[in-house]
Every structure is written in structure tokens, then in C-alpha cells.
Chain A
Amino acid sequence: KRRRTEPVDIEDRLESLITRVGEKSTSSLESNLEGLASVLEADLPNYKVKIMRILCGCVVDLPEKQTVYTTLVGLLNAKNYTCGGEFVEMLVRNLKESLKSGEWENARMMVRFLADLVNCHVLVAASVLQMFDNFVEVTLEDNIPQVRSDVYVYMVLSSLPWVGRELFEKKETELNKLLDTVDAYISKRQKIHVPALRVWSVDEPHPQEEYLDCLWAQIRNLRSNKWLEKQINRPYMAFDSVLCDALQHTLPQIIPPSHNDEMVYPIPRIVFRLFDYTDVPEGTVLPGSHAIERYLIEEQIDRIIHTNYKERKDCAAALLSYPVKNLPLNYMIVEVMFAQLFQLPCAPYIELFYGSTLIELCKLQPSSMPQVLAQASEMLFERIDHMHTICIERLVHWFAYHLSNFHFRWSWEDWSEVTSMDIGMPKAMFVREVLLKCMRFSYHQNIVDSVPATFTTLLPEKPASEYKYDKEGAGSLPGTMAAHQLMSAIKAKCTPDEAAQLLRELPNKFPNGEDNDNSTYHPLKIDVFVSTLLFLGSKSFSHSFAALAKFYPNLKSLAETEEAQIYMLKVVYSTWRTHQQMMVVLVDKMLRTEVVQCQAVANWIFSESMQKDFTSFFVWEILHGTIKKMTKQVNQLQSEVDDARDRLDAAKRKEADGMEIFSDDEVPTEEMIERMEERLETATSQQKNLFLIIFQRFIMVLTEHLAKCESAGIDYNTPWYKWVIERLQHIFLQHHELVFKYINTLESLLFTSDIDIHILEVFQQFCALRS
């Protein structure tokens, strides 16, 4: 084989050296840092800008190694004062840019880094304090959303564990003044948004604090401990004798760019807790919820996940090699993983990431991780009555997936209580939905064999298609003859036209023989055609899709009106009642091919005929899928319009410059763009309409329930109410970016002061997420 002889690019080598320092190594971190600082010092004359850029990249990309890099910058500054100054300048420029463009997490990492540079004698403490003062002053601005002042206060508070001690020693009075301002701010904050973000509806056993409240409590604790913490690894301490001789720089003024309406700030969070010190094994100590160490470790775990989430194996390995002493690391990892999975409105990464990374963690640490996870599952199950529906759903997805990777083995007996419960109760519903999902990953008999015999009541029926025209007694039905003719014709590979002919003579009746007075749709034709088609394609998804595709023209012409589309969906339901996954994919297919419209699906779900299944999870899988497809359609049309506009503008510019236009450039005309814009406008109004329908139907069913309970003098807070009101929140949260666009319409048309306060509150809490 030919050996690679080309020299390795020196810039790549620098990048690799810098990004890898602080990883596991045979020599000590101190000697690695010393060596690297000397290498970089020698390369500075030729590669200064490159080195600075790499270091600035590490600040935001590898914040879990922050103190390693602040030490390195400290050592460079000690060797070369100008270089230290130029690095600070570059970082400040990046910070200002991030504040302007709303990259808040990057900005926070830069602020924290700058703060830590005080410890390495690169920056003067007073100038960092000045930056903090400027940030905290945002809390005194008038007419700004709270989320704006929150983000600036959060940047300051989350930097204090690093620099608090230095500020306390050198600038105590000024530090106290800063903290007084923060204190005043924290105590006057609005917290209307909190209920919308809670995983649990009760504060037992763990209160769910708002993130800023919790961090403030942790910082106050740190302050009363004289700003000493036990978690941050500070390599610069070892270099104190070198660093203390270095000259320090003063930060330039960093003034927060002023607020404007386009600026989007982070949505607040609540702090999720699962474990406390009684849950972890003896010999390990879980820091209390207001100990700064709890925050620091959680933050570090968050960052390790963020750095590694694209490679689940690396992620699991990096998490498990996080160096902690006497701490129940496994528990903290599991808690943070679930905290992210349950985060509202959305988990930071796709749900599948959590599932497959937890499997990886179990593989890497088979002696303890599975037990911790089992303990967590047990605790989550115990607390399910108070868990938010959105989170229960995510838990169901994860748990079924996890079981599917471990032979569906679980100590089901421990959960036997559910077998005697009403199926609407959260615990029973959870188990039932888990079994349904397990069945999708496996097959019916396997799941039947995996659970104790007493679980029969919760077991899903064996999925099978239901075809009325083949049953005993079908002879008396008005559609049976046509159905049988159609079946033979389709088997004999008839054309769509020939199939349509067979339906022509059918009277406008319902399949049971009742007359249909509504001329906008033809229930018997729809029933005969669709149920026969689905029955013939029942062997697999592919067979069903092929059948739908071949007879697309028939479906289209049978489903011209919304009533017809709703009826068609009812036929899908009656054919595949026991096969939820089939219903989900069929509705998806019918939406994509525009056999049915989104509005029809929404109206069908809220219709009388779906009441029995209304709290079943698959119904919401269908509805969210429907909203998603509507969104995709709007986005697609929008990008087509934008693209066409760009091409036309470019062509006009060329023409103006006297350049030749080639005919194969396919420049759209004004008329073409206008037509595209019309289509976009139609889709956008359909989208808005879809949300209006969904929210209006929610208000109707909930109002009816509340009124019924009030007149009967019973508690409205039933399991049904829990599922439904939380599904309403689910719609708001899962599609929050879109719903925010229509917030004014919703406020003036639907969520007005005359609707029940319980329903109105959901809307107000949602609005508060961005106010």
C-alpha cells in the first residue's frame, strides 16, 4: 500500500491539539497544558488569528472543558500580554454579535468564560463586575418582556459559581449591590407561565421550581458558604505562581443591545427532579436541590449531551467518564436524561436519542445502569397520576421502546393494581398504551405471553380487519351485492372506471339501510368501496397503499365534500378499529394524497363517533400528524414562492445589466408567482382555520363537561378532564411557534373572557411563555 506522504496541515494539527487538550491522557493535565502553551507561543507569530479562532470556538463548543481553556488562555497571556488582549477582544466581539442575533446559549458560555478569566489573571475583576452590572440593569428597563430580563440575569447568575469568590474577595460591596438588584428582580417576577411547563401537577415529593428561582436559591446558598463550591475543577490553581505575575486586561464596555419586537428570547423552564438523597445507594451523596453542586453537575451533564448527542456511543461513554467523587453519577445522568425528555414545550433532541442512549448506557454499565433505570421507571409509574399527559405520552414511547430492546421483560406483577382500575385512570391508561406500543414493535401473541394472565383486561385486541359484507347475515345489507361484485372485479384487475360503474346504482342510504337525507355525500357508496378496498389490501401497509393508489380517482370523487371525507374516515375506523397503527398510516396517506383535508380529520376526531376513543393516544398521534402535514405544506409553498421571487429578481437584475437571459434558466413570470402566492394564501388560511377548528372544538367539549359537572354538583376534575385539558395544552405547546402567529386571532375569536376560566387559563399560561 502507498503510504500517505503529504504533510499534515499545520492548522489542522493546531486545531486537533487544542480541541483535544483535557481529554484522558497518560500525562497530567498540567504538563499537557504547559506543553500546549509553549507550542502555541511558538506558533503565535505565524498562526495567531487561527489560534484565536480555534480558542473562541472551544468557548462555545466545548464549555464542559471551560476551565482547561481559561487556564490555557491565562498561560498564553502570561507569556504574551498582547496575545491575551487580542483574544479577549475577539471573544467580546463574538459575544456582542451573539447578543445581537439572539444566540443566547453561546452568549452565556462566553460570559461565563470571561468571568472565569478573572481567576486566571487575564481580566480585572472590576471590569467583569461592570459587565454584570450592565446586564442586570436590563431588569430596570420599561416595557420589555420578562423573558428578556430573565436571559440577562441568567447569564450573570450562571457565571457566579466560577467568579463569585474572586468578586467577594476583591469587590464585596459592589457584588452585594449587584445581588440586591437581582434579589429585587427575582421577587417581582411574574410566574403565570409556570403551570404550562410543569411535568407534575403537584409539588410532592419534589417542588418544581422555575429555573431562575431555583438557580437564585442555589446562588444564595453559595453566597452563604462564602462562595466556596466543591465541584469545579480549576486547573489554573496549579499555575498560580506563573499566573499571578501576569498583567491583566480591562474588559471594554458591553452594553446589551436594546429590545426590538423581532428579538426571540429563550422560553423559561422548570427544574425537573426525580431523585433525592434517600433514593441513592449508601456511600454516595446526592447534593440537595438547592446546593450549587447539583446545578453544576446537571449543567455539566447537559453540556456533555449537547457536545455528543450525534454519536450516542460517545455520548454514553463521555457521560459515564465524568469524574465525580462519592456522587451517584448514574442517578444524576438518568435524572438529566429524563429532565430533557420531559422538557416542555419540546425536548432538546429527538425522543429517539434518549431511548437509544439509555440503551447504550445500560450496555456500558450492565451491573448498575439497568437497576437505576428500573428504579426510575418504578418511581415515574408511582407518580403518573400527577404527570402531564404530554410527558406520559413520551414516557410510554420510551418505555415500550426500551422494553423492545430487552425482550419485553419487566416485573409487571408489581403493577397489578392497574388490573382492577378503571381504564381511564392514568396508571391503567399508561400500562395499556405501553402494551399497545409494545405490540407495534412485536406481535400480539408475544405481548400476551409477556404479561401475567391477570393483565388480560388491559391487553389490546388482536389487530384484524373487519369487513361487514363477508359476515353472516350480510345478505340483508343494501351494499352486499355491490361489494361482492366489486371484490371480484378488483381481484380480476379492473380499472378505476369499471369499479366506479359497479357503484352507480347504489341508493343514497347508510350501510344499515337507513336513508341519508344529506345529498352532499353518499355513505353507502363510500362504505362499499372503501371497506372493500381496505379489506383487499389488508395484508400489509404496502398492499393497502397500492390499493389506495390504484383507485385514487374513485376515492377522490367519492370524497368531494367534507361530510364525505369524514364518512370515509369513519369507514377506515370501522375497518381497522383494532389496528391503530394501520389507521394512523392510512389517514397519513389519505392526507398526503389529498383524498381528505386536514379540517375533515380534525372534525372527525372531535365527532360523536370518536368519543369512545377520544382519550386514546393514537387519536392524538393522528391529530398532531395532521397539523404537522398542514405546516409542511405551508412551508413548502412559502419556500417555492421565495425561490421563484429570487429567480425573477435575479433575472431582472441581469436584464438591467444588459446580460443575456438563457431560456433554459426557467425564469418564472409575475403571473406564475401570483398564482403561487394565491396557493400559499389558501394554504395559510387553511392552516389558521385548522387551528381555529381544533381550539373551538376543544372549548366546546370542555365547556360541556364543566357545565354538566356543575349542574350535577360533582367534581369536574375527572380522569377524562385531565386527558382532555392537557391535550389542549399539548396542541399549544407542540406547535407553539405556529400558534404564536395566530395568537391575536385566537384571543379575539375564541379565548375571550366569557369562556370558562379553566379553559381560558390554559391560553393565558401559554401566552405568558413569551411575555
Chain B
Amino acid sequence: SRHDQEKALLKSTTLYIGNLSYHTTEEQIHELFGRAGDVKRIIMGLDKVRKTPCGFCFVEYYTRLDAENALRYINGTRLDDRIVRTDWDAGFKEGRQFGRG
């Protein structure tokens, strides 16, 4: 429900990252987001059909504080010449990595 969703967001350590270039790699994301704290995992968003990166990913941190720092200081700055957008995410579930196909 919406209430559960909101509660999950308040506790989440996962960020949704959008507006990435299709060429941006997991390595680059790790370098940038690793500056906000220890990254637990990165899940690249993939094109449903071709299984290639398609401009978004999820970055999960070990702690809420690190995720907050990423949101504070990375949202709206550049990676691979694109202004990246970050937002809280309720947490990654299998299947969510597939985007527009």
C-alpha cells in the first residue's frame, strides 16, 4: 500500500539513479557514488529486450547516512556529461532492473 511504500522510503538505503548515459558503466557509478560512502551493490537498469544498460540504476548503501549524503551531494551533478538525478527507492526487487524495451 501507499503507506507501506512511504514507510519503506523513510528507512531505505537504496537510491534510484536516472538520466544516465547508456554508455555509463557500473565502474563509473561505483566511483562517483562510492564517494558518499560504502556501496553495497549497484544494479544496472537494462533494456528489456537487448539486456543492455538503458539509463538508470539502483545504488544500495550499507547505511542510511551514506545514502543521504549521496542524495545531498550527487543529485544534480554530472557523470559522463549527464546531469544525474537521484531519488529514494523503496528497495530493489528482482525484475525491476528491466526498463523500457
**Residues on A facing B (Cβ under 8 Å):** 310-312, 350-353, 355-357, 359, 397, 401, 404-405, 407, 437, 440-443, 540-542, 545, 581-582, 585
Contact = CB atoms under 8 A, between A and B. Distances in A.
A353 B42 contact: no
B5 to A, nearest CB: 23
A359 B27 contact: no
Contacts of A437: 31
Q: Which 5 A-B pairs have the closest CB atoms?
A: A356-B73, A440-B31, A405-B78, A352-B35, A352-B73
A581 B35 contact: no
B77 interface: yes
Contact of B26 (A352, A357, A443, A542): A542
A268 B35 CA distance: 27
Contacts of A355: 35, 73
B9 to A, nearest CB: 18
B90 interface: no
B10 interface: no
Contacts of A352: 35-36, 69, 73-74
B79 A441 contact: yes
Contacts of A581: 27, 30-31
Which of B25, B28, B31, B35 is the most central at the interface, judged by chain A CB atoms within 10 Å of its CB? Answer: B31
Interface string B12-27: 0000000000000111
Nearest to A542: B26
Contacts of A357: 73
B80 interface: yes
A545 B73 CA distance: 27
A386 to B, nearest CB: 27
B27 A540 contact: yes
B28 A359 contact: no
A310 B31 CA distance: 21
A540 B26 contact: yes
A440 B27 contact: yes
Given A352-B74, A542-B41, 8 more contacts: A350-B69, A350-B73, A352-B36, A404-B78, A441-B31, A542-B42, A581-B27, A581-B31
B36 A350 contact: yes
Interface string B21-50: 000011110111001100001101000000
B26 A441 contact: no
How many residues of B sit at the interface, in one of the four size bands? 20 to 34
Contacts of B44: 542
A312 B73 contact: yes
B81 interface: yes
A540 B27 CA distance: 7
B11 interface: no
A308 to B, nearest CB: 11
B25 A540 contact: yes
Interface of B: 25-28, 30-32, 35-36, 41-42, 44, 69, 72-74, 77-81
Contacts of A310: 72
Nearest to A404: B78
B86 to A, nearest CB: 12
A440 B28 contact: yes
A443 B41 CA distance: 21
Nearest to A313: B76
B66 to A, nearest CB: 9
Nearest to B78: A405
Given A541-B26, A581-B27, A441 B32 contact: yes
A107 to B, nearest CB: 26
11 contacts: A350-B69, A351-B35, A352-B35, A353-B72, A356-B74, A405-B78, A443-B28, A540-B25, A540-B26, A540-B27, A541-B26
A401 B81 contact: no
A49 B56 CA distance: 51
Nearest to B72: A310
B98 to A, nearest CB: 15
A312 B71 CA distance: 11
A162 to B, nearest CB: 33
Contact of B42 (A350, A397, A541): A541
Given A540-B25, A542-B42, A359 B80 contact: no
Nearest to B80: A442
A356 B79 CA distance: 12
B52 to A, nearest CB: 12
A359 B77 contact: yes
B30 A585 contact: yes
A405 B84 CA distance: 11
Contacts of A353: 69, 72-73
Contacts of B41: 542, 545
Given A404-B79, A405-B78, A442 B28 contact: yes
Contacts of B74: 352, 356
A351 B35 CA distance: 8
A437 B30 CA distance: 12
Which of A353, A407, A541, A542 is the most central at the interface, judged by chain B CB atoms within 10 Å of its CB? Answer: A541
Given A311-B72, A350-B69, A356 B30 contact: no
B35 A401 contact: yes
A312 B25 contact: no
B23 to A, nearest CB: 8
A312 B72 contact: yes
Contacts of A404: 32, 78-79
A312 B77 CA distance: 11
A311 B28 CA distance: 24
Nearest to A401: B35
Contacts of B28: 440-443
A417 B80 CA distance: 29
B43 to A, nearest CB: 8
A413 B3 CA distance: 58
A492 B25 CA distance: 27
Contacts of A443: 25, 28
A355 B73 CA distance: 8
A401 B80 CA distance: 11
A541 B27 contact: yes
Contacts of B27: 440, 540-541, 581-582
Contacts of B69: 350, 352-353
B36 to A, nearest CB: 6
Contacts of A401: 35
Nearest to B43: A542
A355 B26 CA distance: 21
A350 B71 CA distance: 13
Contacts of A405: 77-78
Contacts of A440: 27-28, 31
Contacts of A350: 35-36, 69, 73
A316 to B, nearest CB: 12
Nearest to B40: A592
A355 B36 CA distance: 11
A440 B25 CA distance: 10
Nearest to A351: B35
Contacts of B36: 350, 352
Contacts of A351: 35
A405 B73 CA distance: 13
A353 B42 CA distance: 22
Nearest to B29: A541
Contacts of B35: 350-352, 355, 397, 401
A440 B24 CA distance: 11
A443 B29 CA distance: 12
B1 to A, nearest CB: 22
A442 B69 CA distance: 22
